[in-house]
Amino acid sequence: MLPTLTGVGRLTGDPELRFTQSSKAVASIPLAFNSRRKNDRGEWEDGDTFFVRGTVWERLAENASETLAKGMEVIVTGELKTERWEKDGQKYERPALLIRSIAPSLAFAVATVSKDAASQQNGQGGQRPTQGQQRPAQGQTQRRQGPAPANDDPWAVDAANGYSSEPPF
């Protein structure tokens, strides 16, 4: 069983979205976790920093790459593991994080939450864009513009058609 990490970190780079040959979305997210504490003089000082490359898959990968950017503070949960590889006869290893959940921290920011297009269409997501659709250029963020809210979705917000942003309870 792999150890689980839950913590508040910061993105040290933009998420890098790519697709496998079987059309599954995967994104690499570089993270840094550090410990800040007050010293004897009451001043904040940084402690050790733990750098780790996180990996997310499928819809979470697509949503994270469209939402998160370098410098953002995030709350993340995942399993820690060690990645091992060999290159030119030399063996390497580094810590890695298989991310199960990631979201912006609201400690110093505000966020607007909306369903992604795949959720609105009851799709599974994680698919390559079809011909005619475009992915954002490296470093750019593209916000999804889903279809009009479904009439049977009580959480949908569409002021023009009378849907409310209030919870349906």
- β-pair partners for 27: 17, 56
| Residue 134: pLDDT band with limits 50, 70, 90 | very low
The Cα–Cα gap between 113 and 1 comes to 33
Q: What is the pTM of this model?
A: 0.65
| Residue 53: pLDDT band with limits 50, 70, 90 | very high
pLDDT given at position 17: 95
Judge contact between 143 and 65, C-beta under 8 A. no
The angle at the Cα of 19, spanning 17 to 24, to the nearest 5 degrees, equals 115
| Residue 36: pLDDT band with limits 50, 70, 90 | confident
109-121 as b/e: b if 16+ CB within 10 A: eeeeeeebebebe
| Residue 136: pLDDT band with limits 50, 70, 90 | very low
Ranges 3-17, 37-51, 114-128, 145-159: which has the least confidence: 145-159
In this structure, what DSSP letter does residue 159 have? G
Domains of the chain: 4-161 (2.40.50.140)
Q: Which residue blocks in the chain are alpha helix, DSSP H? A: 58-67, 117-120
pLDDT given at position 100: 95
Query: If you count them, how many residues does the chain have?
Result: 169
| Residue 130: pLDDT band with limits 50, 70, 90 | very low
